[in-house]
Structure formats: structure tokens, C-alpha cells
Amino acid sequence: MRIAVLGAGAWGTALAIRLCTRHAPCRVVLWGRDAAHLDELAAERTNRRYLPDHPFPDSLRLTSALDAAVEHADLVVIAVPVAGLRGTLHAVAAGGRKPPLIWACKGFEMESARLPHQVVREAYPATPACGVLSGPSFAQEVASGLPTAMTLASFDEGFSQNIAAQLHGARLRVYSSRDVVGVETGGAVKNVISIAAGISDGMGFGHNARAALITRGLAEITRLGLRLGGSMETFLGLAGAGDLILTCTGDLSRNRQVGLALAAGRPLPDILRELGHIAEGVYTARAVARLSRELDVDMPITRAVSGVLHDGVPARLAVEALLSREPKREAC
């Protein structure tokens, strides 16, 4: 199978490495838009900027020419941030050939509040078989070959089953699903809840508070996801609870790191500059908060995080406001 991975950040690089080294290796080409960065990767055979200490397999090809990357691909894997998804899709479509594709980005498009599959429908018209790859997965661990389980969802059940089977391996287990909306919602909103968990941890509120945030955060994800048409079982699975637990507790979580720094009183621009990676929750929070108001979905944690990030609300005041909410019956 010939695969083009589009996006030479940490996640795209990790997927390219893993797909090259699975038990039935694929022919993989990694594309990035920055030609100088790709030259650096080719010379050093590692992504020192985004994923150091993970040398490339000999079989991994690199290119900054998009047409060359997708020309003979049986499958395109888009691993750019959500903000770059629409432009990348336009560029692929402009080449004339439309190979099947999956996307591995997590979030809502900030300006439109659209999920990735909605962006795909608009920017990649007459879309062939396609789907979303998501689940609990840190790039460093995937690149290291540590066991990881993910979900591949598509409206075309045959496509999701076929591609999941081809990507599946002993260290990268891929399960198929038909619930594109649920998988995307879980992957997007968990990043916002992770920022809240980082704020809580940074303020020293302890493990009990973190567990409460994860649990109530999952309730928010589920409420929004069900309203958008997702399935309950998805939010209890890898792309829901699994991804949420990982990103709220793991030290490799960029969004949790943002929350920790906010709790310390650091300005957001400084945090993002020093992080050096995209923290999707920062951009997703505003879109989800707006969407929750439009759909009348109760999402107090998400709105509190959006207030801290974008409206100048001090982190401690936001947490105190959450803690002072009137008690009510626990429900999803």
C-alpha cells in the first residue's frame, strides 16, 4: 500500500515512522510545505524540531512537492492542524487526482465551528471514500513503537473496515467505526477539558478534582456529541473516554501543559511561543463555546476555559466560578 502522509509536524512524522515499520510495511512518503524544513529532515533523517530522537526508517521518503507526494498514493493521511486542513484539501484537489483520504487532526475549525468532515465536504467536493483517525495517542509513543489503539471512522463502513485492517498492526491497533461525528467531537473537545485539568493540577487541587473534571468533561463531550448526531458508545470508547483520560493525565499532553502554565499566571502568547507546537484546545475552545450557546448545550467547563483563554478571565476566578455552581442531579 502506498501512503502519502501530509504534515511534517510531530503527529505526521510519528504516523509515517510507524507505518513504515509495521509488520507489513507500507511505502510511505512524508510531505511538508516548508521546503527548508524538509531539506533538514532529509539531511538528518530525523525531525529534530518536532520529534527528536526518532530516526527515520530507510524506506521513508520525504518531499515538499505535494503533487509528487500524492501522485501514486493509494491513501492520503492528512496530519496538519485543523486550521490548515481546508487549504491542504484545496491543494490536493487542485492536482486533479482525488485519492481516498483520512484525516488525523482534532478540533473544530475556529471561524466556522465546523468539524473536519464538514470541511472535507466543502473543500474536497465529490469526496471519494474517506474517514477520520483518532484516539488516545501521543506522537512520541507512536513513533517509539509503544502499543497504541485508535479508531478509524467513516460514513462508508466498508472503507473504514478495509483501511483499519490495512493500518492495523501488533503495536498500532486500529478499530473501525461508522460514527464520524462522535469520533471527531470526542477528539476535539477533550483538548479543551485537558486545559481545564492542567489549570486544576497547576493550582494544586489534587487528584479528586482532576477526576471530577474528567468525569464532568466527558458529560460535556457526550451532550454536545449526541446533539450533533454522535453515538453514546463512541464517547465511552477509545475516541471518547480513552482520549480524554490520556490527554488530561499524561505529561506529554500539550493542552495540559497550557493549563499548567495558565495556572502559574503566564500570558497565553508566551505559553504558545515556548510550547513550539500547536495546542488545538486553545483554538477549539472558542468555537465549541460558541456552538454550545447556539445549540443550547450546557458546557460550563468549556465556557470557563474559553473565558480564560480569550476573554481575559483569571484562571483562579474561572475555577472558583465552576466550584460555586448550584448542585444538581448528576446526569449526562
Across the chain, mean pLDDT equals: 94
pLDDT of 332 > 70? The answer is no
pLDDT of 331 > 90? The answer is no
Neighbouring residues of 122: CB distance < 8 A, sequence distance ≥ 6:
86, 114
> Is 190 designated active site?
yes
Instruction: Quickly state the pLDDT bin for 321 (edges 50, 70, 90).
Output: confident
What is residue 46's predicted lDDT score, i.e. its pLDDT? 97
What is residue 184's predicted lDDT score, i.e. its pLDDT? 98
Phi/psi of residue 173, each to 5°?
-90, 125
pLDDT of 25 > 90? The answer is no
Length of the chain: 332
CA end-to-end span of the chain: 42
* pLDDT top residue among 327 and 11: 11
pLDDT 10s digits, 136-173: 999 999 999 999 999 999 999 999 999 999 999 889 99
Question: pTM here?
Answer: 0.94
| Pairing state between β 130-134 and 148-153 | antiparallel
pLDDT 10s digits, 223-241: 999 999 999 999 999 999 9
Phi/psi of residue 77, each to 5°?
-110, 115
Class of domain 188-323: mainly alpha
Q: What percent of the chain has pLDDT over 90?
A: 86
pLDDT 10s digits, 121-133: 999 887 768 999 9
pLDDT 10s digits, 255-302: 999 999 999 999 999 999 999 888 999 999 999 999 999 999 999 999
What is residue 322's predicted lDDT score, i.e. its pLDDT? 82
Segment among 93-97, 220-224, 244-248 with least mean pLDDT: 93-97
What is residue 207's predicted lDDT score, i.e. its pLDDT? 95
Instruction: Domain ranges for the chain, please list them.
Output: 2-178, 188-323
What is residue 29's predicted lDDT score, i.e. its pLDDT? 97
Pick the CATH number of 2-178 from 3.40.50.800, 1.20.1250.20, 3.40.50.720, 3.20.20.80: 3.40.50.720
Handedness of CA 207, 208, 214, 220 (dihedral sign): negative
Q: Give the cell for residue 33.
A: 510545505
- R_g (Cα) of the chain, nearest Å: 19
Q: What percent of the chain has pLDDT over 70?
A: 98
Query: Starting from the edge strand earliest in sequence, which strands make up the sheet with 61-63, in order?
Result: 61-63, 27-31, 2-6, 75-78, 101-103, 130-134, 148-153, 172-177
Phi/psi of residue 152, each to 5°?
-115, 115
